[in-house]
Structure 1
Amino acid sequence: MNGPLKRAALACLLMFGLLMINVNYLQAVRAEELRDDSRNTRNFFARYEVERGRITAGDKVLAESVDTGDQEFRFQRRYPEGKVYAPITGFFAPESERDIERAENSLLDGSSADLLIRRSIDLFTAKQTKGANVDLTINPRAQEAAYKALGESGKKGALVAIEPKTGAILAMVSIPTYDPNPLSKPSKEDVNAAYNKLDEDEDQPLLNRAIERTYPPGSTFKVVTTAAYLESDDTVGPETQVDAPQRLDLPNTTADLPNSGGAACGSGRVTLSFALEKSCNTPFGKIAMDLGYDAMRDQALKFGIGGDPIEIPLPVAGSTIGPEADQAALANAAIGQRDNQMTPLQMAMIAAGIANNGVVMKPYLVNKIADSEGGEVDSANPDELDTAMSEDSARKLQEMMVNVVNKGTASAAQIPGVTVGGKTGTAETAQGRAPHAWFISFAPAEDPKVAVALIVESGSAGSDASGGQTAAPIAKSVMEAVLGR
């Protein structure tokens, strides 16, 4: 072969090699970037070619794809009861997804490897591939009761209800909410306008307050302090006498810890149950200082506070009792103030763990997944997160929480014929602002079917808001819905 032919052959080989490198680079390295590029109109149209699976809860369809008859935008997402379930379902938009629509996207659009057999069958039978259906653990009666009680009252806040024995989430409401239907239109211009309006709303309707925001838990956290005390000594119980001064002297500061309104707590020495029933501050501040930060941190961790990130499968903001500081900070953290920050989901897990004899289950939202023909792809497998306390300690704490409802600050949560356990909380916020109103509960105490955590945000329930008067009646309506009352 002469020189020119050799050089031509070498040049062709080099160009072919460069072409192959470029093809592999585009397909392997930049594939996702190019697929998600907003200028990729092919990807835009392709999102509407597939009939996404339904999202359901019980007998309710929460999200479905409807045939528009348009060849370019054939299927559009529809949310029949959008505002009620929006914090859970999220939305499917031209360029993005949110919440369950995002977390289970590959199943809903049929691209998941778990659906390979179904896609192969559809290909062989010339059927159009459809996405899998995602069934949630949500109890529609409980969800709608929570939405009505919290949402229609003009309050801001969040509620989470959990089945204590499994960790299944029965209700998750965040108020204010939004309608996901305008965000599912196959029009970038319309969707962007609708989204920007929601995003700029100072009430933050797109924020899922149940799992994406933390708050000081106030006196509801006293159940964790009580759990730590019970676990520290098996002789401690509801009738154990504890110091309850009108003001607790805190070391290295002139700002002592008072009870609510500066009131006395009994005669200055009361039973542990009485202290919880009346939600005194000073006994729990002293208990925490006596136990020390490590004991409080370890007890909190057993309830899931400060541990590994939680996904349900939606990501959940981390809760914390705050860093180790001085004794004064610890006393305030023990009553749910200072740097103590909790999500409503975390507080529901605490209530559920106590109700479940000390065993905290991992919370989850997805009940089962089925392909388009009804074949099961996956189903929930309840799993333990941790044992927060012994069964003996849990039963003592259950008894005290029942006393809180029967003869303490949470009488508004009483349900005739049902033994309810609970704890109220009124959490201070910024100086000059009204407090948050909290309530956590479970029922029936003998065989718990539901645990609830609820927060009504500062300012949305009046200046005299309290966990007992403001939050407990809302939680009661949700417990009644789960129990069929």
Structure 2
Amino acid sequence: MNTPLRRVGLAMMVMILLLLGNLTYVQVIKADDYRKNPLNRRVLLDQYSRERGQIIAADGTPLASVEKTTDRLRYVRTYANGPAFAPVTGYFSTTYGAGGMERSEDDLLNGSDDRLFARRVSDLITGRDPKGGSVQLTVDPKLQEAAFQSLGNLTGSVVAIRPQTGEILAMASTPSYDPNLLASHDANVQEEAWGTLTDPDGPQPMLNRSVDQIYPPGSTFKLVVAAEALAEGKTKDSEVDGRKSITLPGTNTELPNFNDSICGNGTTATLQEALAKSCNTAFAVLAHDMGPDKLRKQAAKFGIGDSDLTIPLPVAQSTLGPMADPPSVYQSGIGQKDVRLTPLQNAVVCATIANNGTRMAPHLVSKIIAPDLSVIDETKPDEVEEAMDPKNAAALRDMMVESEKNTGGGGKLSGVTIASKTGTAEHGVDPLATKPHAWYVAFAPAEKPEIAVAVIVEDGGDVGLQATGGKVAAPIGRAVIGAFLGSR
């Protein structure tokens, strides 16, 4: 064989190898990505040719179902009370893909999950119409609706957790949206809804504030500082700073208590009084004395800083920030500076205290159900770690009961002892001229907790600059607790 023919032969061999490599890459390595791509029309038609599985509440109430149609896409997704449950269910759209639980559990719902392989083979052999599996959530539908209604026209979030198991009982976020509009088979309806919902200058109703947004926690973070103080040997009767104002080291900046109030005798106060009256000076000094390493370690025991948290919805990472100098440690001790938590994370902190100091992994999925209604997977409570000694957790619970007694706002419940902490979080470029976020975290009944809640109302709600956690967030939290305890 002469040289030119050898070169042609080698070139053809190289091209064949490249072709085989490309086919392998497309059909094996990237196959799943292409299959899940919302722009893949063939996959779309295939998915809508089968009955998508349901998303079901804890009591069996369908939250997301399907109805048969007469158009080319055989089924349309439907959502019961869509806006109330949208932060949980998400949406399923022919144009814009999926979000929320619809996205996290898409393989199961569309029937391609490996756990449904035997069912798919059986359907192929018997000629049955293929169906997707269903997801049963931990969400209590009545509590979810109560949380949504309690937020009303305010912008914020409510998260409720069962402390002993980590089950998420409610996860409301407002403003919300109607996923039925995105599920429509009318492209014009979808496009109009999407444009309104994703307007960057609008209220961002598709933002799930419970898990996707991080906020300065304000004085609710004092629970973490108090937990570390107790771990270091302090008791609720230990003396702490009671001054009405302190100067941050190396600066001329004053850090005052709320309304320049004093704690105790104006020089010292007990740890319990400092928490009940939310004394900034006490917790700023405590944070500085324990140092950033201990503070960060205690926060991590509560789950703060976990970058891999999923429920299975992905959760934004909460953080304490760098705490690079003494002034920032002082400010971090009162939940300001660079400290940022999701409402879910703040609910986990509260639930951990309620559960005698043991942190349970929060989860939203209760059961995975096959098309024949058999249970193929079930979430078991996952004990992550002991964040606090049980005796210290009991002491902090008692301190939170005193805090609730000292907290104003409406909706107080008779016959129920609540353990709580409020927060009024400054934010923005000019914090003193910016409406603060209002927080309330609580659990009840304090002596035998059944529910832990975290509430945030952005930008002072309808109170504005005068907003506090007690005025704005506490009535919402109490209403949610009351709705849960009253439904037993």
Would the alpha carbon gap of residues 132 and 267 (structure 1) be closer, same or farther in structure 2, given more than 3 Å must change? same
Would the alpha carbon gap of residues 230 and 48 (structure 1) be closer, same or farther in structure 2, given more than 3 Å must change? same
- Give 1:128 shift: 0.9
- Give 1:437 shift: 0.6
CA distance in 1, matches of 2:319, 2:9: 67
2:67 equivalent to 1:66: yes
Q: How does 1:427-466 map to 2 (within 5 A)?
A: 427-430=425-428, 431=430, 432-463=433-464, 464-466=466-468
- Give 1:196 shift: 2.1
- Structure 2 counterpart of 1:255: 253
Would the alpha carbon gap of residues 36 and 241 (structure 1) be closer, same or farther in structure 2, given more than 3 Å must change? closer
Would the alpha carbon gap of residues 356 and 245 (structure 1) be closer, same or farther in structure 2, given more than 3 Å must change? same
Superposed CA deviations along residues 46-70 of structure 1, whole A, max 9, x for unmatched, are 2311211110102321100111133
- Give 1:242 shift: 1.6
Stretches of structure 2 lacking an aligned partner (at least 5 in a row): 1-7
Look up the equivalent residue of 1:483 and give its one-letter code: L
- Structure 2 counterpart of 1:182: 181
CA contact (8 A) 1:304 1:385 kept: no
Stretches of structure 1 lacking an aligned partner (at least 5 in a row): 1-7
Superposed CA deviations along residues 217-258 of structure 1, whole A, max 9, x for unmatched, are 11111111100100011xx22222222111123210110211
CA distance in 1, matches of 2:13, 2:280: 81
Superposed CA deviations along residues 372-416 of structure 1, whole A, max 9, x for unmatched, are 11111111111122211100110000000011112x125746422
Identity of aligned residues (%): 44
CA contact (8 A) 1:198 1:205 kept: yes
- Give 1:41 shift: 2.9
CA contact (8 A) 2:109 2:133 kept: yes
SS of the residue corresponding to residue 97 of structure 1 reads strand
- Structure 2 counterpart of 1:105: 106
2:260 equivalent to 1:242: no
- Give 1:429 shift: 1.7
CA contact (8 A) 2:264 2:270 kept: no
2:107 equivalent to 1:76: no
- Give 1:34 shift: 4.4
2:219 equivalent to 1:224: no
Q: How does 1:39-58 map to 2 (within 5 A)?
A: 40-57=40-57, 58=59
CA contact (8 A) 2:283 2:333 kept: yes
TM-score (norm 1): 0.92
- Give 1:161 shift: 0.4
RMSD value over aligned CA atoms?
2.3
Look up the equivalent residue of 1:211 and give its one-letter code: V
CA contact (8 A) 2:461 2:472 kept: no
- Give 1:169 shift: 0.2
- Give 1:33 shift: 5.3
- Larger CA deviation: 77-86 vs 239-248: 239-248
SS of the residue corresponding to residue 348 of structure 1 reads helix
Would the alpha carbon gap of residues 93 and 454 (structure 1) be closer, same or farther in structure 2, given more than 3 Å must change? same
CA contact (8 A) 1:413 1:420 kept: no
CA distance in 2, matches of 1:214, 1:484: 31
- Structure 2 counterpart of 1:210: 210
Look up the equivalent residue of 1:467 and give its one-letter code: G
CA contact (8 A) 1:279 1:409 kept: no
SS of the residue corresponding to residue 91 of structure 2 reads coil
- Give 1:42 shift: 2.0
SS of the residue corresponding to residue 93 of structure 2 reads coil
- Structure 2 counterpart of 1:481: 483
SS of the residue corresponding to residue 48 of structure 2 reads coil
CA contact (8 A) 1:47 1:94 kept: no
2:140 equivalent to 1:139: yes
Would the alpha carbon gap of residues 38 and 343 (structure 1) be closer, same or farther in structure 2, given more than 3 Å must change? closer
- Give 1:459 shift: 4.2
Would the alpha carbon gap of residues 309 and 25 (structure 1) be closer, same or farther in structure 2, given more than 3 Å must change? closer
Superposed CA deviations along residues 258-315 of structure 1, whole A, max 9, x for unmatched, are 1012222231221111111111111111111111111111110100011342100000
CA distance in 2, matches of 1:156, 1:226: 29
- Structure 2 counterpart of 1:363: 362
TM-score (norm 2): 0.92
CA contact (8 A) 1:414 1:420 kept: no
CA distance in 2, matches of 1:39, 1:427: 42
CA distance in 2, matches of 1:411, 1:108: 43
Q: How does 1:52-451 map to 2 (within 5 A)?
A: 52-57=52-57, 58-70=59-71, 72-95=72-95, 96-151=97-152, 154-200=153-199, 202-233=202-233, 236-268=234-266, 269-406=268-405, 408-410=406-408, 412=410, 414-430=412-428, 431=430, 432-451=433-452
CA contact (8 A) 2:409 2:475 kept: no
SS of the residue corresponding to residue 269 of structure 2 reads strand
CA distance in 1, matches of 2:203, 2:62: 28
Q: How many residues align?
A: 474
CA contact (8 A) 1:303 1:353 kept: yes
CA distance in 1, matches of 2:39, 2:332: 51
- Larger CA deviation: 103-112 vs 385-394: 385-394
Look up the equivalent residue of 2:50 and give its one-letter code: V
Superposed CA deviations along residues 67-101 of structure 1, whole A, max 9, x for unmatched, are 1133x110110001100000110011114110100
CA distance in 2, matches of 1:12, 1:280: 79
Would the alpha carbon gap of residues 12 and 190 (structure 1) be closer, same or farther in structure 2, given more than 3 Å must change? same
Look up the equivalent residue of 1:436 and give its one-letter code: H
Superposed CA deviations along residues 433-463 of structure 1, whole A, max 9, x for unmatched, are 1111100000111221100000010042222
- Give 1:105 shift: 0.4
SS of the residue corresponding to residue 458 of structure 1 reads helix
